[in-house]
Structure 1
Amino acid sequence: MTTVAAVDEWMNRVFCEDAVAGVQRIPDGAVDLLIADPPYGLGKDYGNDSDKLDAAAYLEWTALWIDAALPKLKPNGSLYIFLTWRYSPEIFVLLKQRMTMINEIIWDRRVPSMGGSTRRFSSVHDTIGLFVKGRDYHFDLDAVRIPYDAETKKARSRALFVGAKWLEMGYNPKDVWSVSRLHREHREREDHPTQKPLEIIERMIKASCPPNGLVLDPFMGSGTTAVAAKKCARNFVGFELNPSYCSMIEQRLNELAIASTEPVSVTRPELCE
């Protein structure tokens, strides 16, 4: 079994290896936020067979990685997990036996209203679960408030509203997030079948990971969590099975470092040992 490594050997790095074994590099209770975007059990091609399990095997594997990853969270740590409607009920029940559920978030992917099934309603959302380990979990709503537009603020100009924090700082994003998926021409788009938008991951990090805290992503994919963590001045650690995706992550982080006009708080990770 992989032993726990010194912090400078795993912090701000992505390892090209299986997360179930790889997380043993990280000491228990070290992680502030766990963002998990695992295979959905839909048969997607990630350059391997990781998404081609039958239902029973998929749920068994899910329990395996959850049991390996959750001990890494601090007592006040949080978990966001991306799922689809197919398996979210079973996995939410699994997690409720280990954590407290705070939200079910619906990500409206803004899929155009064309095509789709003729035998059921078209699925145009992902399900996201927010779970926490303890009552004192970190949550910074002010960091993710959505500003009101000028017209809305003007309409609420009565003395009753003057100086109201919610009016000046913006409103709670609520539990339905309408954020466009990354279409082929999107400037963020990488060659990955289920890449998540930076806007969503940055919201999670700003709300649920304190400044200079640590984010763990067991399924890095295109590396959006690592990029978002760097942009938000947080540390990260992650795992990815596909060597091509590891190279993609390295390139994205290199481009971020070049584009930044401010010094980064961490050294650039060495990827894919």
Structure 2
Amino acid sequence: MKTNHKHYICNAAKMAAVTDGSVNLVVTSPPYPMIDMWDEIFSHQDRKIEKALRKSDGSLAFELMHQVLDRIWEEVFRVLSPGGFACINIGDATRTLGDNFALYPNHARILNATQALGFTALPCILWRKQTNAPNKFMGSGMLPAGAYVTLEHEYILILRKGGKREFTSPATKENRRQSALFWEERNQWFSDIWMDLKGTRQAMGKQKKRNRSGAFPFELAYRLINMYSVKGDLVLDPFLGTGTTTLAAMAAGRNSTGYEIDPSLLENFCDKCRDSLGHFSSVIQHRIDLHNEFVQGRLAAGKPIKYENAHYGFPVVTRQEKELVLNIPVSAEQQGDENMVVHYSIPSRETANTATAAQNAPVVPEICGAKSKTDGLLFPDFDPAS
């Protein structure tokens, strides 16, 4: 098995290299309108935005910024296949312009625009960005009637193009079964509130790129790709940034493509892909470790498990998990300036240990694996934006 990963340095408002209906899943996080770190990016594409901000006209600036994003959502709708999903990570914004402090509901504006295009909105996910700030309140502090609640969550909008995706041929049905989730993963990941993810740190030291990228956690992209696509699908990120979606697609055995207007964010990206192979194998091994831990706990509680996975030989809760198999990225080769090909292997049934199958891949033990198996995170210390 192999996957292809290509990125383009240009504006995603015209994704000429992506044909109609060729993308199965979009996982992305756009620049957030009305967050000042992205003012320059938006103003560069529409100078009326800069004028509106200077005049403290927040409503106009908000709308003009979203009109810039609307062009990308139109392209996303065009390239998605029938039944394909778009997962958009977005946060609302708070801002003071002049003497007026206000909330700018980015998630609602994007929902309105995408539904007008023909997308079906499905239940969204809220994920809470953990913070250690000791003084989190806003406004007048202890005095009533002048304070504002904190804004510590973001939205993952789940949109679908058309009706439910169909898997009709024997080959597509088999691939879908092999792409299954563990029962306990399904229960955790398909909750509408995620409390266990940590926001990706933005401090860069001498490297300032991530201050302009707003990178989301690897775990977020990896979950969504496994939830809403099958192996071999094409995943698109029209706001690629530092490439987190591409890395997650590589780990999950999906193809990917992405667009980014700032070439500095993807400097040495091919080297990063190769260096991440050992981390990817640790992600997969940790999924197996977490499942085995879950099985042991369930059996210890006297709850029977009726089925066995055909490849690994370990118990699974449902019939749908019997053919689940996790492909391990073991090598990556660069083809041209903007394309990577990743090759995969499968661990042996005897060991069910992905580390042996990836023994030739570079491994950095001190930053891979979870701090605790019980935390449910696959890759808490891997920071793909660094």
Which interval holds the TM-score relative to the shorter structure? Answer: 0.7 to 0.9
1:80 and 2:73 equivalent?
Answer: no
Task: For residue 170 of structure 1, report the CA deviation from its aligned partner.
Answer: 5.0
| Displacement of 1:64 | 1.0
Alignment of 1:176 with 2:176, yes or no, is no
Q: Which residue of 2 aligns with 1:153?
A: none
Q: 1:204 aligns with which of 193, 206, 224?
A: 224
CA distance in 1, matches of 2:135, 2:182: 34
Structure 1 stretch displaced more, 71-80 or 107-116: 107-116
The answer for the alignment partner of 1:36 in structure 2 is: 28
Task: Give the drift of 1:135.
Answer: 2.4
For residues 29-79 of structure 1, give each alpha carbon's deviation from its aligned partner in whole angstroms, at most 9, with x where no partner exists: 100001121100134546x82245421211211211111221101101000
User: For residue 19 of structure 1, what is the aligned residue in structure 2?
Assistant: 12
Unpaired segments ≥5 residues, structure 2: 44-48, 50-60, 93-104, 140-146, 167-175, 282-327, 340-386
Normalized against structure 2, the TM-score is what? Answer: 0.55
Provide the residue aligned with 1:229 in structure 2.
249
Instruction: Say whether the 8 Å CA contact 1:145–1:172 is kept in structure 2.
Output: no
Question: Aligned partners of 1:248 and 1:235: how far apart in 2?
Answer: 20
SS in 2 for 1:180: coil
Deviation at 1:113, TM superposition (A): 5.0
Shift in Å, 1:20: 1.2
Count, aligned residues: 238
- Give the Cα separation in 1 of the matches to 2:226 and 2:88: 16
* Identical residues among aligned pairs (%): 20
Other structure's SS at 1:42 match: coil
Change (3 A) 1:259 1:129: closer
Structure of larger gyration radius: 2
Alignment-derived partner of residue 192 in structure 1 = 210
TM-score, scaled relative to structure 1: 0.76
SS, match of residue 202 in structure 1? helix
**Please, which runs of 5 or more residues in structure 1 have no aligned partner?**
1-10, 148-168
> Which residue identity does 1:225 align to in structure 2?
T
More strand by share: 2
Deviation at 1:196, TM superposition (A): 0.7
In 2, the alpha carbon distance for the partners of 1:103 and 1:259 equals 32
Structure 1 CA distance for aligned equivalents of residues 280 and 226 of structure 2: 19
CA pair 266-95 structure 1, distance change in 2 beyond 3 A: farther
Structure with greater contact order relative to length (CA < 8 Å, sep ≥ 6): 1
Two-structure CA RMSD over aligned residues (Å): 3.1
